[in-house]
Amino acid sequence: MKANHYSNIETYDSKERFVSYWHQINEIKACKPKTILEIGMGNGFVTDYLKKWKFNVTTLDISKDLKADYTGSVTKLPFENNSFDVISCCEVLEHLPFEQSLIGLKELHRVAKKKVILSLPDYNKAIKFGFNLPKTKFFTKIISYPYFFKKPAIFDGQHYWEIGKTEFSLKKLLFLMEKTGFKIIKTYRVFDCPYWRFFILQKEKVKLRPKTITEKEDEIKSWW
């Protein structure tokens, strides 16, 4: 993306995007990382916030105009193996053809030392519930369900694919993440903007026992 794509305060920095910023920052902070790589820095909001609080952040973006620390693609990261405790790659992979996204996922696994924070668009429908329970915090729940007739993934000038469109189910994506070598700590849709789904991925150092089909289905159901 060109720098001017991120500079229009009326069209880019919406309420929903600030909610996404909060989740990105919150998930990164929860990892207590010593080193962070942010891929796709956008307008720099997340990096600026983290640097203000003395986090060690390195940025990479494919656009030279954004003046990131490194210019390059997620499909060929210019770093050694296990270079960063945490990698944040939010709203990036959907801008690549799916096959290239899988290459990027492998690169994230190679360069990450511990965890990867990932967010992707989720096209599936969502029903939201939110209410206060006595003596507890605000309770939220999102129920996701697919469209009866799935829409094919056609490049719209921005996204090549989205979760929930033809051939790109959540179940398929989770399987490919595990196959790449990640343990899926959690995945969730953002209550204020269900279009964004976050994944917290942990790089596995040892090969785990393959889960049975029943185990996989039960785990996936618990995330919906």
Among residues 86, 98, 95, the alpha carbon closest in space to that of 63 is found at 95
For residue 50 the two structure tokens come to 């983290």
Cα distance between residue 57 and residue 63, in whole Å: 18
Q: What is the CA radius of gyration of the chain?
A: 17
Over residues 181-196, the mean pLDDT reads 94
pLDDT, tens only, 80-100: 999 999 999 999 999 999 999
**pLDDT band for position 223 (cuts 50, 70, 90):** very low
> CA distances (Å), 93 to each of 39, 97, 204, in order?
10, 8, 21
Helix (H, G, I), strand (E, B) or coil at 102: helix
Asked whether the beta carbons of 153 and 161 are under 8 A apart, the reply is yes
For residue 179 the two structure tokens come to 């196959």
**pLDDT band for position 137 (cuts 50, 70, 90):** confident
**pLDDT band for position 224 (cuts 50, 70, 90):** very low
* Strand ranges across the sheet with 57-61: 70-71, 57-61, 36-39, 84-90, 112-121, 193-203, 182-190
**pLDDT band for position 207 (cuts 50, 70, 90):** low
**pLDDT at 166 (0 to 100):** 92
Helix (H, G, I), strand (E, B) or coil at 124: coil
Amino acid at residue number 187: T
Average pLDDT, the chain: 88
Residue 220 has pLDDT above 90, yes or no: no
Spell out a b/e string for 148-187, using b for 16 or more CB atoms within 10 Å of the CB, else e: eeeeebeeeeebbbbbbbeebbbeebbeebbebbbebeeb
For the chain, the structural domain boundaries read 3-223
CATH among 3.40.50.970, 3.40.50.150, 3.40.50.300, 3.30.465.10 for 3-223: 3.40.50.150
Residue 164 has pLDDT above 70, yes or no: yes
**pLDDT band for position 178 (cuts 50, 70, 90):** very high
Among residues 108, 122, 123, the alpha carbon closest in space to that of 201 is found at 108
Over residues 116-125, the mean pLDDT reads 96
Phi, psi dihedrals of residue 112, rounded to the nearest 5°: -70, 145
Residue 184 has pLDDT above 50, yes or no: yes
Over residues 169-195, the mean pLDDT reads 95
**pLDDT at 13 (0 to 100):** 74
Over residues 65-79, the mean pLDDT reads 96
Among residues 21, 8, 12, the alpha carbon closest in space to that of 192 is found at 21
pLDDT, tens only, 10-45: 556 778 889 999 999 999 999 999 999 999 998 899
Over residues 42-59, the mean pLDDT reads 95
